[in-house]
Chains A and B, each alone.
Chain A
Amino acid sequence: MASNQGLRDESDGQARRRAVMAVLAHSAMADIAGRLGTIALPMHENLREPEHGLVMVRGRIGGDGAPFNLGEATVSRAAVRLTTGEIGFGYVLGRDQQKAQMIALCDAMVQSTELSGEIETKVIAPLRAAMIADRSRKAAETAATRVDFYTMVRGEG
Chain B
Amino acid sequence: MYVAVKGGERAIQNAHRLLAHERRGDRDVPELSLAQIAEQLSLGIDRVMTEGSLYDRELAALAIKQARGDLIEAIFLVRAFRATLPRFGATEPVDTGAMQVRRRISSTFKDIPGGQILGPTFDYTHRLLDPQLADGFVPEQPATSEATQAATPRVTDILGRDGLIESSPAADADAPVGDLTREPLSFPAHRDLRLQNLARADEGFLLALGYSSQRGYGRNHPFAGEIRFGEVEVEFFAEDAGFAVPLGSIALTECQMVNQFKGSATEAPCFTRGYGLAFGQSERKTMSMALVDRSLRARELGDEVIAPAQDEEFVMSHSDNVQATGFVEHLKLPHYVDFQSELGLLRKLRQEFAEANEAPDMQEAAE
Contact = CB atoms under 8 A, between A and B. Distances in A.
A51 B178 CA distance: 27
B7 interface: no
B94 to A, nearest CB: 6
Interface stretch (B130-138, B188-196, B299-307, B337-345): B188-196
Contacts of A148: 110, 116
A25 B117 contact: no
Interface residues of B, number: 82
Interface residues of A, number: 57
B179 interface: yes
Nearest to B249: A26
A76 B144 CA distance: 35
B143 interface: yes
A140 interface: yes
Contacts of B115: 146-147
B117 A145 contact: yes
Contacts of B170: 65-66
A68 B91 CA distance: 11
Nearest to B121: A145
A61 B275 contact: yes
A142 B273 CA distance: 28
A71 to B, nearest CB: 4
Contacts of B116: 146-149
B155 to A, nearest CB: 10
Interface in B109-135: 110, 115-120
Contacts, number: 235
A87 B55 CA distance: 29
B19 interface: no
Interface stretch (B36-44, B96-104, B315-323, B328-336): B96-104
Interface in B156-200: 156-157, 167-172, 177-181, 191-193, 195-196, 199-200
Contact of A67 (B142, B177, B200, B236): B177
A151 interface: yes
B281 interface: no
A52 B85 contact: yes
Given A57-B250, A74-B56, A140-B147, A69 B236 contact: no
B322 to A, nearest CB: 13
A138 interface: yes
Contact of A66 (B90, B168, B236): B168
Contacts of A73: 54-56, 91, 234, 247, 250
A5 B252 CA distance: 39
Contacts of A35: none
A138 B252 CA distance: 16
B54 A63 contact: no
B240 A62 contact: no
Given A64-B154, A142-B119, A144-B143, A56 B240 contact: no
A126 interface: no
Contacts of A84: none
A71 B54 contact: yes
A75 B246 CA distance: 11
A79 to B, nearest CB: 6
B265 to A, nearest CB: 25
Contacts of B245: 18, 21, 89, 91
B259 to A, nearest CB: 12
Given A72-B53, A93-B247, A135-B100, A143 B91 contact: no
6 contacts: A60-B168, A62-B256, A68-B195, A91-B241, A137-B144, A142-B101
* 3 cross-chain pairs, A with B, having the tightest CB-CB distances, nearest first: A65-B168, A62-B168, A139-B147
Interface of A: 14, 17-18, 21-22, 25-26, 48, 52-75, 77, 79, 89, 91-95, 135-151
